[in-house]
Each structure stands twice: as C-alpha cells, then as structure tokens.
Amino acid sequence: MSGKGKDSLLGNKIAAGLLTAGLIFWGANRIASIVVPDEAPKTPAIKITGLQTAAAPVAAAAAGLESIIPLIATGDVAKGAAFVQQQCAACHTLTPGGAAGVGPNLYGFMGTPMFSGSFAYSDAVKDKAKGNWNYDNINAWLAAPMSFAPGTGMSYAGIKNVQTRADVVAYLRTLAATPVPLPAADEIKAATAAAAPATPAAAGAPAAETEPSIDTLFATADIAKGKALVMQQCAACHTLAKGGAAGVGPNLYGIIGAKAFSAPGFSYSAAVKSKAGAAWTDDTLSAWLENPMGYAPGTMMAYPGIKNAQARANVIAYLNSNSDTPEKLP
C-alpha cells in the first residue's frame, strides 16, 4: 500500500463525496474548519490500546481520556446535531440508507460491529474492528481517530472537549430506528469513580416535555433570537437573502405563504414531493421544523429539528419577517 496511491484515492473519494452530497457550495467554507480544527490538541496524540476489552473504561481513564458515559443522558442533542452538520456531514450521510461519501453512512451504527458496513474501510481500521460500537470505543475514536487507528482514512483531528463528544454521541445514538440504551446507572457510577475529576456539567435543563401549542408563543417570540438560531443552524444549508442562490437546501426568503417544496430550479427529494404545493403556514412550518425526518421520512434535510416550541416560534417569527409580505402571526 503506497502512501501516494492512498492520498490520490482519498482525493478522489473527497471529490466524489462532495459531489454526491451536493455540498459544493456549502463545502468551500466548511472544509476549512475540518482541515484546520478549531483547537489544537492540548496533549500529544495518546496511543490507546485495549479499548475493545471489558476493561475499556479503566484503560481510557488511564490514558487520560475522560469518559463520556456520565454525560450522555444529559448531552445536548441539538448542539451535537449542529456540530455533526458542521464537522462531519461533509464526509458522512446520516439518514437511513444514505449513500457513503468520503466516509460510511452513520445511520444506526451504534451497537453494530465496528467498521463493518458496506464501505471500503482502510486497512488501518480493519484490525480495530473488534466488537460493537459502544460508548467507550466511540469516545476514544472521536477523541482522536488518528491515534485510535493510525493511518485511518478519517482525516479528522478529533473532538478534544469531553462535553462536545458527549453531545455528539447523544445525537448520533438518536440516528437509529431503535437507539441503543443510555448508559445504565451502574456504568455511570463506574465511569464517574474511574475519573478523578468528575465533571457532570449538566445544569442546562432539557426542553420541557409538555409544550404549549405554538400559536400561543408568537406573542412572546423573539425575532433576534430566531435569526441567531437560523444563522447558526440553518445558514450552512440555506441562503436567507432575497434572490439568494440555493445551497444544500433552497433559498428561504419569503417562505411563509410560499408554495411548499416548490422553489424553481431546486431538486427536492422524492420524500417531500407529496407535501409540495400547499402554502407554508406557521403551523405546517412548525411541524416541519420540529421534526423534518418525521414530517417527510427520507427528506434530504439532515437536520434533527427544533424541539423547543418557543425556539421554533422565534425562528418562524424571524422567517416571517424575512419577506416582502410578512403575515400576521396569531
């Protein structure tokens, strides 16, 4: 296996991946953040061994890698989703049956045999493919792929922050028909005990379980907050300005009142065709944005949804204002 051949193969894979994913437009500025990670590793690459054994938490702790196990249940799924969209989606598809890109499709991989999908894995990971993906080995892999499997085709620096890793894994586990169980109480106890400085930074309360109807929330909607969320979570795929070009998704100027999934020149997925044509209302938009993949299973909009009703009202109020003819919201 010559290094040179591998480089050009990777180059081809990247080109093909970007084309298939339709990410050309979006890729240009995102690739930079992949190739140049946001933070330099604080510690030199650690060689982690023995992770597939039952002693994994101990081995991980001994190598100085903080366990994510105590942080998964309270991990911020929305943050994890946003991070994955930004840093992983250029190489990985996330929807059921999604095509491989530069890397394998990631739907439902947790709990299944490691590096064993229908993908041409590098030799580097072949002898690491022992056992199933669990919270320990995914933690080690995502912290430092190139230390976990030197020579891996996943040229990604790794996620150094343990809370970010926990958020990402909390999101990744939801990408499955039946998500793997959250860590059990005794696993959490063991992992917490193994880590000297336990840091459950989990003060942020998860979204309320019972949410009021969105109609009652427009009165208190905060357009500036809605805009900020859109810039952070949607603008990577959608332009907002009048006449803006389509990106991964269609332009969103004047979307409320516009015919759903009907922007000229954009090729929508088959998944949304049956929902196309009716004018978007605050209610249909709310349903779509709460859970795109539930609203139109198989949609290309790889976005988990805005679960918090007030945040959704904020976003809809902003989208409504971003129009020549804003409508009167309830």
Measured on CA atoms in the order 15, 16, 19, 23, is the torsion positive or negative?
A: negative
Q: Which pair of tokens denotes residue 309?
A: 């009703």
Minimum CB separation of residue 193 from ligand HEC in Å reads: 27
Nearer to ligand HEC, 154 or 191 (CB): 154
Query: Please, what is the end-to-end C-alpha distance for the chain in angstroms?
Result: 64
Minimum CB separation of residue 144 from ligand HEC in Å reads: 12
What whole-number distance in Å separates Cα of residue 117 and Cα of residue 109? 8
**110-135 b/e with 16+ CB inside 10 Å = b?**
beeebbebeeebbebbeebeeeebbb
Minimum CB separation of residue 202 from ligand HEC in Å reads: 21
Nearer to ligand HEC, 70 or 250 (CB): 250
Minimum CB separation of residue 14 from ligand HEC in Å reads: 7
> Considering only CA atoms, which of 315, 321, 327, 264 is closest in space to residue 78?
315
Minimum CB separation of residue 28 from ligand HEC in Å reads: 15
Burial of residue 84 (CB within 10 Å: 0-12, 13-18, 19+) is buried
What whole-number distance in Å separates Cα of residue 92 and Cα of residue 164? 18
Nearer to ligand HEC, 34 or 190 (CB): 34
* 3-state SS assignment for residue 106: coil
Nearer to ligand HEC, 188 or 285 (CB): 285
What whole-number distance in Å separates Cα of residue 313 and Cα of residue 330? 11
> Considering only CA atoms, which of 194, 78, 207 is closest in space to residue 139?
194
What whole-number distance in Å separates Cα of residue 247 and Cα of residue 236? 8
| Side chain identity, residue 69 | I
Minimum CB separation of residue 233 from ligand HEC in Å reads: 5
Minimum CB separation of residue 89 from ligand HEC in Å reads: 6
Minimum CB separation of residue 315 from ligand HEC in Å reads: 5
Nearer to ligand HEC, 59 or 90 (CB): 90
What whole-number distance in Å separates Cα of residue 158 and Cα of residue 154? 10
Nearer to ligand HEC, 124 or 309 (CB): 124
User: Which helix (H) or strand (E) covers residue 142, if one does?
Assistant: helix 135-143
Nearer to ligand HEC, 13 or 194 (CB): 13
Nearer to ligand HEC, 125 or 188 (CB): 125
- Residues across the chain: 330
Q: Interface residues with ligand HEC (CB under 6 A)?
A: 34, 84-85, 87-88, 90-92, 102-104, 106, 109, 114-115, 117, 119, 121-122, 124-125, 142, 152-156, 159, 168, 230, 233-234, 236-238, 248-250, 252, 255, 260-261, 263, 268-269, 271-272, 289, 299-303, 306, 315
